Amino acid sequence: MLANKTALVTGSTSGIGLGIAKALARQGANIVLNGFGDSEGPRAEIAALGVKVAYHGADMSKPAEIEDMMTFAAAQFGRVDILVNNAGIQHVARIEDFPVEKWDAIIAINLTSAFHATRLALPAMRAANWGRIINVASVHGLVGSAEKSAYVAAKHGVVGLTKVTALENATSGVTCNAICPGWVLTPLVQKQVDAKAAALGVSNEDAKKALLGEKEPSMQFTTPDELGELAVFFCSPAGANVRGAAWNMDGGWVAQ
């Protein structure tokens, strides 16, 4: 379905980003990966799906590096048809104890990077009259949780940016939507599981149950593969008039 399209997925060397990149690759899209840590393993996983893959290690807190990444993607594949703004970091603390540098970093990577990548991708998408911008927000773009002020503020901002991007392009073939996952067992969330296990003096499995039990009625983690299939839907003809949605995959979290 996505043959001859190019998808750039930020923060895609692991977790949700890699799951989305693989789902798009299975539909034939060429992939530009981005992220820290090992890039060769993810590149090999994508290449094994029979598509072209490139990698750019832009630090998503730095606008100049984001610009370089977008230029690189266009040079590799012509243009970015599908932009998935997924890069994100987390820090947990009460507001009065929240380190200012952590606040700045979370807003920069989780929110501002999506603005920069979007503004750079839009001209080519509009010229082609086809594009898909998918912002990976969070259930925390819809509701709050204590001790996550920067993350919740950033993800609410991502949902707002999604709506404005959709409205500004509503009469074109360019759509913008947000995916709002609940708990996904990524390396980021595993750290919270480990911390809970240590704090409660329980096993990792019991800590997972405790984490899910606080928020997610299904008692199941959403998977990167499930999120990837939702991204594929947004890119499909069936998703052509889905515009400005903040689509939660959260096991019933916000239904409560």
**23: which residues sit within 8 A by CB, 6+ positions away?**
225, 228, 229, 231, 232
Catalytic residue from among 151, 183, 234, 253:
151
Q: What is the DSSP code string of the chain?
A: --TT-EEEETT-SSHHHHHHHHHHHHTT-EEEEE-SS--HHHHHHHHTTTS-EEEE---TT-HHHHHHHHHHHHHHHSS-SEEEE-------B-GGG--HHHHHHHHIIIIIHHHHHHHHHHHHHHHHT-EEEEEE--GGGTS--TTBHHHHHHHHHHHHHHHHHHHHTTTTTEEEEEEEE--B--HHHHHHHHHHHHHHT--HHHHHHHHHHHH-TT---B-HHHHHHHHHHHHSGGGTT--S-EEEESTTGGG-
Annotated active-site residue 151? The verdict is yes
Terminal CA-CA length for the chain: 36
Question: What residues act catalytically?
Answer: 151
